[in-house]
Structure 1
Amino acid sequence: MVMDTKERILEAALLLFSEKGYLGATTKEISRTAKISEVTLFRHFQTKENLFINVIEHYSFLPKLKELLPELKDYPLEDSLKTLARTFLESLRIKKALIRIMLSEFPRYPEIIKKSYQKTIENIHNELSQYFQKIQKKGLIKETLSSYLLSQAFLGLFFSYFHAKEIKGLNFRESLADDEIIEHYVEIFLKGIKKESPLKET
């Protein structure tokens, strides 16, 4: 299947932005990599800022999350969370180089990019918080907890793991495989760390 022009531009932009950052990559280089003219690039994405915003949105976790959540509705809760975590980590790894360079460049981005990035993150949390609301209505988790904060806490666990291991390259005393990390983190998220007191005999 031949990739359409817009998809080619986005793929080329991801590649160049990941290598040189938003500040270093040029639309001329992106056009050349996509094998199109710069005029064609601007016909699809009016400005470099608009192109970068589209790359962030297109390769964010949001499209995959929207696709995945309906498939999880009949899964046991623990299995659903493990699947979400695994898919989230895969999504981060696809754009690892871009994330690394964005973390260093972000303070120098135009305000429109910062606001768009924040909106994308909020949309991800809004989508996942709706999932947690449905789980709360089923009585599987406490209804008193903020579903939005549950989303932040859940994704935050795995982003911090990804950031430390993949971006910073840190080595920890306990070096576990992803599946083991997911197993532990999901258990911590679901059950917390407080040990239940045994029932007193009457």
Structure 2
Amino acid sequence: MNAKSKLQFSALKNFSEIGYYESTTLQISKDAGLSEATLFRTFDNKEDLYYSTLTYYSDTSNLNFYPLLSNLTFNDIQFDLTQITEFIVDTYISRIHMTRILISNLIQVKSIREHHSLVISEIHSFLMNYFVEMNIRNLICSLDYDTIANSIISCILYEITQETVFNKKVDFTKKDKEKIINKINSTLDVICLFLL
């Protein structure tokens, strides 16, 4: 791993665990096993390191929906929405540091909104396509799918935010993930009542 990669990985962990403003270039350098001078030879300043790190880890976080598609029945909406929810929760947990940075710093650092690592638009598009397909099959009624997709995403992000930002959880067990999914499923039950 070269110096730039070491610094970006260290920055990712620091920004995730203690926040942008609380992270120092000295600590990031030390955690990377490098000097602060090396950091400033590689990046102009802390903000440059921050955006470089976000861009690097954003570029490596494209979603692959194909494994999810093979698990969907396109017949049982309750089952399918649970599968979709598990996929999204797994996605956020597998990218826990980016998830924490983007959620916790969204308000503090306004220009962070340019980075789309929360992949909300991709998830929204997937849900919209799923609802349209289910409607074509006459398995759900015609509703405002945009609002329903946004409600599902909001519910998922709320639970992820509770665990990652407020409870400061970084390591998730299978039981932790199930707890999150069960909370979300109670909302999905209500959504399914509207769709059927």
SS across alignment from 2:70: coil
CA-to-aligned-CA distance 1:33-64 (integer Å, 9 cap, x gap)? 3233445434543331121123345556x844
| TM-score (ref. length: structure 2) | 0.63
Cα pair distance change 1:91/1:82, threshold 3 Å: same
Question: Is the aligned partner of 1:36 residue 2:34?
Answer: yes
Cα pair distance change 1:132/1:97, threshold 3 Å: closer
Question: Is the aligned partner of 1:114 residue 2:104?
Answer: no
Corresponding residue for residue 52 of structure 2: 54
CA-to-aligned-CA distance 1:172-194 (integer Å, 9 cap, x gap)? xxxx8532541452463365274
Which structure's CA Rg is the greater one? 1
Corresponding residue for residue 160 of structure 2: 162
- Within 5 A, what are the aligned runs for 1:1-202? 3-18=1-16, 20-58=18-56, 63-64=60-61, 66-76=62-72, 77-78=80-81, 79-92=83-96, 94=97, 102=105, 106-107=107-108, 113-115=109-111, 117-121=112-116, 124-139=119-134, 144-147=143-146, 149-169=147-167, 178-183=177-182, 185-186=184-185, 188-189=187-188, 192=191, 194=193
Gaps of 5+ in 1: 108-112, 170-175, 198-202
Indicate the percent of aligned positions where both proteins have the same amino acid.
19
- RMSD value over aligned CA atoms? 3.9
How many Å separate the matches in 1 of 2:38 and 2:145?
45
Cα pair distance change 1:26/1:4, threshold 3 Å: same
How many Å separate the matches in 2 of 1:181 and 1:19?
20
How many Å separate the matches in 2 of 1:177 and 1:23?
29
Q: How many residues align?
A: 177
CA-to-aligned-CA distance 1:11-31 (integer Å, 9 cap, x gap)? 211333345532233323322
Cα pair distance change 1:131/1:43, threshold 3 Å: farther
More divergent stretch after superposition (155-164 vs 15-24): 15-24
How many Å separate the matches in 2 of 1:49 and 1:168?
24
Amino acid at match of 2:63: E
Cα pair distance change 1:191/1:20, threshold 3 Å: closer
How many Å separate the matches in 2 of 1:183 and 1:144?
25
Gaps of 5+ in 2: 73-79, 168-174
* Moved beyond 6 Å, runs of 4+: none
**Cα offset, 1:95, TM superposition:** 6.0
Cα pair distance change 1:182/1:118, threshold 3 Å: same
